[in-house]
Every structure is written in structure tokens, then in C-alpha cells.
Amino acid sequence: MASFLLLAGTGPLSVLAQNAPAASTALLLRPAAVFDGETLHQGWGVLVEGDKIKAAGPAGQLAVPAGARTLELPGLTLLPGLIEGHSHLLLHPYNEASWNDQVLLESQAMRVARATAHARATLEAGFTTARDLGTEGADYADVGLKQAIDHGIIPGPRLLVATRALVATGSYGPKLSVDVDVPQGAQEADGTDGIIRAVREPIGKGADIIKVYADYRWGANEPSRPTFSQEELTLIVQTARSAGRPVVAHASTPEGMRRATLAGVQTIEHGDAGTSEVFKLMKQRGVALCPTVAAGDATSQYRGWRKGQDPEPERIRQKHVSMKAALQSGVDVAVGGDVGVFTHGDNLREAEQLVQDYGLPTLQVLRGLTSTNARIFQLLDRGRVQPGLLADLVAVAGDPTQDIKALRQVRLVVKGGVVIKQ
């Protein structure tokens, strides 16, 4: 229990605590209430042994072993560690540096150094797991970042990494003069042999997820259009699936979304121009939507939109239309903000906007950040407060089932049974 005692006077997120072994003595957490990933329970306690949840239920009925340490959390709600559905730890906000400049002008060493700070901020915000969906020109640096976190070298969330996303040749960037070839922000691949190789290579390098751009802009000032054919997308999914990896698809056009859905991807990222028909198809095929509403909101403000004062830009207006269709279809909604477009550590921005701007019920979004994201991403060992699952837990001031902003009041972070922030 040295790590618990150490943290009492060291403030948030001690690297020593991240490096410490899992607790060998039981820890009893006694908050005012426990949100178990589905329902709020007043007067519950949670017993942690090692890196797992041993028991959860009415605090007075838990069988607490001798020598267990008790941590009183009056006025706090304990809940599963939050799960970020869409992040880019190797990017920083576009109002600080454009995407092109980050890919072309920043060294990989600089980008990794930034990413270590981003990982720490993410964990401090209560997000104990994150899908990192593409290194955007930083090759396989996310694999090393994940390894550094797993080995306790740096603090951060449990990562699911996608390494280099797949794009059709000519459809991505950066793009300069036609006479100049520059490093691309993703892996170009076309045709049967090229696609199979492009899927297998990142898996061999350590990718947990394959990300594909099912549509994108072919040129400056053009609208997004489908890139890969139906056959190519299906081959990508089949190749990844045979290696036990899911595929996620960047897609914003109805046709790109339709092709990706028929191919069998796990999630559609963005879905800006999605229609009722394509969302119904996603629902039928078990494909979830990760709408990333915060990213469009952020980039619109970077371009001068004064939210709450100016009329909504067309992009935001269209997002409201597509989200209304998505919600009416009953498609599963994953919660992920495309963090990196905006500031890491401000991950809750997506959840807040889903509630405030798009009218999703607070409880649905809270479940989205925990049990729903875990289910969609096939993370069966987390996302709920349940015996046998990972002891990734967060305590916040207030009741997040009533006010999503309560999740900003993080008072305790436990990852794998070790107190990370107190």
C-alpha cells in the first residue's frame, strides 16, 4: 500500500504511483453513491483486491478482509473509469498549429514529448481508457507510447492504438505542389495485394485497431467523396478480422458510410452527412456511430464562429440534422470527441455537447462513456463496477446521472487498483 500513502502528499498523478505494483492489500472505497455503468446506487461500497474489483454492493454488507484500508469518499459518486472513444494523442489543437504544420514541421521527438503530456492530462481527467485513432504522420509512435504507459514509465490511460490509418492513394495530405512528394499523414493503399499488406503491416507493428478513410476530399475545396470501393473495404475488414482486429471507418458521406457498414466495420467516425437510411442500415448491421460533435464545434470556432452569437455554420447545422436522424434510428452512439483537434484533458467536451447541444439524455451519455463504449469496443473487462472487472474507477463531486458537468469534478482516479490521483 506504499503507493496509496505516497500519493497523499504528492498531488495529482505521481509517476511513482504509476510505476508501483498492484496493491497487495484490499482497499474499500466508501462513496456516497456508486454508478455501476448502468444505474446509480446510494450507500454502496466497492472492494478492490489487486487490480480487480472484488465486490460491490451496500457498504454495510461487504465482507471486508482484515487489514483492508478504507478510503472514505463523502459526497462523491464512484463510477467506472471513463472511456475516450476517439482521440489523437500525437496531435495538439489546430488553433495552436495547423494539421499540415504538425505533420510536416514538427519532429517526431517533439510530437512524442507532447503526447506524454497529453496522456497524463487524459488520465487526470478520469479517462482510464482511450482509443487513439491514427498517428497522423507519426508512423508507429503510438505503439511506443502505449508500451511506455503499460510499463509504468509514463502515466496515461490504457490505449487502443490504430497506428497509420489507411487511405486511397491521392485522397489525403499534406498536399503541396504537384512536383513535390511529401510524407503523408496516413498509409496509402490500393488493390488486393496493396491493401492486404497495408493491413497486416501495422498489425505486426502493434496496432490494436485498423482505421480506414472510407471517404475524403480528393482536392482542395472539394466535398468529401467515397475513396475505397466496396470490394476494397470488405477486404480490409476481412483481413483485419482474421487477425482479431476491428476496423473503424472515417466516413461522413452517405455512400462512404454505406460501404463501410456493409463491409462490417465496428464504428463509423463522424457521420456528418448521415441519412435516416444509412443510420437504419448501421442499426441493422450492428455498426455504431461515434459522432465527434466537439471536433466540428472546435474547428468552426477556430475559423471565427462566435458560438451563441453568430448563426450556426452550415457544418454545424448539418450535424444537427444528421444527429437527429441517428437518434431516431436507434443506432448505438459511442462517445468520443476527436480529442487533439481540441485540448487533451478537455475530453468531457464531447459528452457535454451531446447533452447540451444535441439533446441526448444525461444518463445515456454517462453510460456511453462507460458501459456502452466498453460494449461497442469489445472491452469486456471494464466499463462497469462489477466483481472480476478491472479496478479502473473514478470518483467525482456531485451526481453525474443528473448533471454531466459533475464529471469535471474529478477527486479520485484509480487505475488497475492503484490510486493515481487523490
CATH number of the domain where residue 253 is located = 3.20.20.140
Report which secondary-structure segment, H or E, holds 354.
helix 349-356
Q: How many CB atoms lie within 10 A of CB 183?
A: 10
User: Shortest CA distance to 38 belongs to which of 265, 374, 418?
Assistant: 374
The shares of helix, strand and coil residues in the chain, as percent rounded to the nearest 5, are 35, 25, 40
Task: Provide the pLDDT for residue 175.
Answer: 82
Report which secondary-structure segment, H or E, holds 267.
strand 267-270
What pLDDT, in 10s, does the model give residues 136-168?
A: 999 999 999 999 999 999 999 999 999 999 999
- With b for 16 or more beta-carbon neighbours within 10 A and e for fewer, the 208-230 pattern comes to bbbbbbbbbeeeeeeebebbbee
Q: Are 124 and 152 in contact (CB under 8 A)?
A: no
Q: Is there a single domain that holds both residue 40 and residue 115?
A: no
Q: Is there a single domain that holds both residue 13 and residue 144?
A: no
What pLDDT, in 10s, does the model give residues 68-119?
A: 999 999 999 999 999 999 999 999 999 999 999 999 999 999 999 999 999 9
**CA separation for the pair 404, 354 (Å, rounded):** 10
For residue 126 the three cell numbers come to 478520469
Q: Is there a single domain that holds both residue 338 and residue 248?
A: yes
Q: Is there a single domain that holds both residue 232 and residue 301?
A: yes
Using the 8-state DSSP alphabet, how is residue 50 labeled?
T
pTM value? 0.94
Q: Is there a single domain that holds both residue 302 and residue 414?
A: no
Q: Is there a single domain that holds both residue 290 and residue 356?
A: yes
Q: Is there a single domain that holds both residue 349 and residue 399?
A: no
What pLDDT, in 10s, does the model give residues 327-348?
A: 999 999 999 999 999 999 999 9
Q: Is there a single domain that holds both residue 159 and residue 269?
A: yes
Q: Are 291 and 326 in contact (CB under 8 A)?
A: yes
User: Shortest CA distance to 298 belongs to which of 98, 94, 56, 133?
Assistant: 94
Q: Is there a single domain that holds both residue 202 and residue 346?
A: yes
Map residue 21 onto helix, strand or coil.
coil
Q: Are 417 and 4 in contact (CB under 8 A)?
A: no
Q: Judge residue 61's burial from the number of C-beta atoms within 10 Å of its C-beta, 0-12 exposed, 13-18 middle, 19 or more buried.
A: exposed
User: Shortest CA distance to 421 belongs to which of 30, 101, 5, 13?
Assistant: 13
Q: Is there a single domain that holds both residue 22 and residue 154?
A: no
Map residue 398 onto helix, strand or coil.
coil
Q: Which residues of the chain have pLDDT under 50?
A: 1-24
Residues in CB range of 316: below 8 A, 6 or more apart: 296, 297, 300, 305
Q: Is there a single domain that holds both residue 111 and residue 226?
A: yes
Domain extent for 17: 2-81+384-421
Q: Which amino acid type is present at position 123?
A: L
Give how many domains the chain has, as a whole number.
2
Task: Provide the pLDDT for residue 219.
Answer: 85
Task: Provide the pLDDT for residue 241.
Answer: 98
For residue 405, the domain's CATH number is 2.30.40.10
User: Shortest CA distance to 99 belongs to which of 349, 345, 341?
Assistant: 341
**CA separation for the pair 339, 139 (Å, rounded):** 19
Q: Are 410 and 369 in contact (CB under 8 A)?
A: no
Q: Is there a single domain that holds both residue 361 and residue 395?
A: no
Q: Which of 359, 376, 393 is the last residue of a domain?
A: 376
**CA separation for the pair 115, 380 (Å, rounded):** 27
CA 100 to chain centre: 23
